[in-house]
Chain A
Amino acid sequence: MQSANMLLKKIVRSSVLPVAAQHGMKRDLFPLSRTLSLSLCLKQDNSCKPSEKLDLDAWKKVMKSGLQEEVSETVSEPQELSGLAAARETLEMWRLAGKSVPENVSEEQLKTFMECPSKSAKKKYLKYLYLKELYKKNDKRKMEEKRERRLEAQEQTSKTDEIQKSPFLCLWASTMDKAYNWRAAQSMIFGQPLVFDMSYEKDMSVREVANAVKQLVQSEGCNRRAVDPFHIHFCNFKDDSLYHKEFLKHYKEAWGKLLITVTEQCYTEIFPKDKLIYLTADSPKVMKTFDHDKIYIVGSMVDKSIKTGVSLARAKRLGLETAALPLDKYLLWNTGAKNLTLDQMMHILLTLKDTADWKKALEFVPKRKYCGFVNKPVSELKKTLDLVNTLKIGKRREELQKQFAKNYPKKYKLK
């Protein structure tokens, strides 16, 4: 260290240093303006520099020393790992590396992970699991917070208030259930049928089927709560299909008690063909009014990759009438596909059935997909737009002709 200091001092005195300083040496290390204070500064450095110098690789020692005991354990362990364990190990390392990987992975999930065909598919699946875990955790935390707040509130009220008297027993949930079920039962006898076509399992991935079933569960729920519910039919429904498995996951033992019709038959076998209308976004025909005598069919399909014309093909094959919602007529469409989720369809159809008001019904189209409602029909708007455009183009054409004449004056004269 001493010799190093000497060297530094020499360098400082020699004429090379100003150049070196220009090349980016730190001024606070070598305050050149005051050569007198330099020696003092170096002395101060002397006090702290050695420790700093030693420090730089200290982390390696710490890491290595911490290992000694562990290493002796791990080395004796046999290195061979089975496929699943190795996969679990990889996941753990990815999690340590800060990738979106869930903390807890079940055996089943691990197997799906290993079956993913590509690296990106694996990453996607892990991210999905990670987000799912995150949402679950957040929900749990919120629930706990809520419980604590409730307990606090209860303590406060129990101190101050006595029990209030009321003419009704507090039995809201179960009585409502009964009322809903009564209505649903009525709909099974007198209600207008609404068919969900369950024949799309082949066209969907496992995730898509799961999503479709989730949407169906939601639509069934909102139908049950409606004033005048539909009589829901699940047609082309096969036992032991993926659909069935997913439904059992959601409903558990309630699946057998649902007030809907589930059948393996096709809708064409149950209802007269001329009464059926297949609802599909690809249909060239646009629905004008809701017909209470018709039976509408909705394909239970979630289509994340764009497969156009699948449900239209099905309707074509059976020779059924098709219709699409008049989205373009009433909404200024912004972004997104025109196919809606099953529960949105359910809401729209229920509202149409009750009110026949398109504006009210189409409130259920997600807000992000459209800019606003149209007062005038879109066709008229388009006409004015076309007019504006033709005027613009007409002007442009004149300009072009002028330019052309300018560029080729001779040719024009020759003509």
Chain B
Amino acid sequence: IQPPEKPLQSEEWNRLRENFQLPEIFEEVMLNSMIRCNSPIDVAKSLLTHVAKRNGDIAYNVLVKYLTLCVQQGQVSEICDVYDIMKARFKILEIGAYNLFIKGLSNSDQWKMALTLLEEAKKMMIPSRTSYESCIKAASCHQEMKLAFELYHEMLAKDVVPTLDVLQSFFGFSRGMNGAELQKELFGILFYLRDNQIYPHKTFMQSIKLWFESIPGRKWRGRLTNIKDSGQCPVCNRQLEDSNLTEEEYNNLSERIIRDVIHGTDTFRKTSPQEFEAFQTFVENQLPFDIVIDGLNVSHIKPRKMHCENLLDAINCLAKDNVRLLVLGRKHMLINSSNWKREIMKEMQTKADFFFAENISEDDAFLLYATLRSGKHCKFVTRDFLRDHKACLSDSLTRHLFRKWQRGHQIVLKAMFFSVFSQQPAFQYDCVVQTTGDTWHIPYKDVFEEKYSYRVPRKWLCIQQK
């Protein structure tokens, strides 16, 4: 229904209400459409007056709808009035109303009241992240950076994830401000990006750059650049961090892969204890490998070719310079069939080591184990993103480690025209926000949305001190 354009008299509202199919929810529907059309607030007021006259009371949800309209139009005095009325009329308010109040008041000179409301809301439930964010923005807008950072840390402590928008606002509002404390906090945000492998988008990157350049007396200078495949920054000629894990991280990751991915809740789900043991002894006897290949995955690269031919091509392509290959497969590959010719299988077995798992076992888990056991130099080949295995890892820290390790060690084969393979090599350098003290390197995304979570940005911001 279309809301009227000017305030109506009670009789006129009554007429509209009677013509409506469901008179009980007339007010709600009307206010909803007012919110949608952003009608003048006086119209809504006249509706409320009509309701108050008829019933002597206004229902909570109608008040909340009215409040939404006030917040949408930034009618601060109305918001305060509604707050007084609701506070007096109802014993407690629910979190949705608090969120609206906070959102509405934080943009005004009444922003301190938004903070007290946030405190009230905390007593009931964890406030939403938009509430936190509007308070943080209000505080930093009024140069109360300390307060803003307190709220930010509180937010993180409650596992409420901040949006890039609010992180960006910290850099935006601190531009030109001095102070060791402030600088430490903002570096803290950059480390937060690093730890969670978050890449800022272009405008956020601009804010970071401008903030750095605005610090008085430090002479930071930022330049946009592309990093070479070797991992060298063309601007400052520094080498980026390499993609290898530390010894401790590496051991931690291999342990967790065995515990969470291979064994999980029940070893029988992916393999069986006997089979895993057999595989372990096999790997220990043959160590170390240079490349581990997911045989079945690779054999499906070109759908119109025989599976074993695909695999042979891949092995030929990778078996240069005395690298030691391990191919993981399943037992059914050994049975002579239209896709798996016995002669070709024999030929392949002279060029690489093979391990055949049971047909109902998961070979991916073995792939991970063999690669990790062989050491840091070992790479693996599969087109699989291994998402389901990553999901088996129980905490986010290990998942990040896994992603990092995967970026540095996974080779993807691509089928080109005729029988040429091209490999997408593993990354030499680690793609995260990083610093050496007098330089910062920050990868950023060109567009706001992240289209593919596995794709890492190629563009960087290089900041160095002159």
Contacts and interface: CB of A to CB of B under 8 A. Distances in A.
Interface of A: 26, 48, 52, 55-60, 62-64, 66-67, 70-71, 74, 86, 89-90, 93-94, 96-98, 119, 203, 284, 308-310, 312-314, 316-317, 390, 393, 397, 404
B359 interface: yes
B320 interface: no
Given A67-B89, A97-B60, A310-B269, A56 B360 contact: no
B88 A71 contact: yes
Given A26-B5, A284-B359, A309-B270, A93 B60 contact: yes
The 9 residue pairs across chains A and B that have the minimum distance between CB atoms? A313-B268, A96-B60, A59-B52, A93-B94, A62-B52, A59-B48, A98-B61, A313-B269, A309-B269
B81 interface: yes
26 contacts: A48-B9, A52-B7, A55-B7, A56-B7, A57-B45, A59-B48, A59-B49, A59-B51, A60-B81, A62-B58, A63-B57, A63-B89, A66-B57, A67-B88, A71-B88, A86-B92, A86-B124, A97-B64, A119-B125, A119-B126, A312-B360, A313-B267, A314-B268, A317-B272, A397-B304, A404-B417
Given A62-B52, A93-B60, A97-B60, 11 more contacts: A48-B9, A52-B9, A60-B85, A62-B57, A63-B52, A66-B56, A86-B92, A94-B94, A96-B59, A317-B268, A393-B303
Given A317-B268, A404-B417, A63 B58 contact: yes
Interface string B370-383: 00000000000000
A64 B85 contact: yes
Interface string B267-282: 1111010000000000
B90 interface: yes
B46 interface: yes
Contacts of A404: 417
A316 B272 CA distance: 8
Interface in B194-224: none
A313 B266 contact: yes
A96 B97 CA distance: 11
B414 interface: no
B91 interface: yes
A412 to B, nearest CB: 13
Interface in B65-90: 81, 85, 88-90
A312 B61 CA distance: 51
Contacts of A66: 56-57, 89
B124 A90 contact: yes
A35 B45 CA distance: 32
B259 interface: no
A314 to B, nearest CB: 7
Contacts, number: 107
B450 interface: no
A109 B265 CA distance: 30
B217 to A, nearest CB: 46
B28 interface: yes
A388 B89 CA distance: 72
A314 B272 CA distance: 11
Nearest to B96: A97
B53 interface: yes
B93 interface: yes
A58 B49 contact: yes
A74 B91 contact: yes
A48 B11 CA distance: 13
A119 B158 CA distance: 13
Nearest to B63: A63
Nearest to B360: A284
A123 to B, nearest CB: 11
A70 B91 CA distance: 11
Interface in B306-354: none
Interface string B135-146: 000000000000
A97 B56 CA distance: 19
A308 B56 CA distance: 59
A89 B56 CA distance: 23
B58 A56 contact: no
Contacts of B60: 93, 96-97
Contacts of B272: 316-317
B176 to A, nearest CB: 39
A58 B125 contact: no
Nearest to B270: A309
A309 B266 CA distance: 10
A63, A89, A390: residue with the most chain B Cβ atoms closer than 10 Å: A63
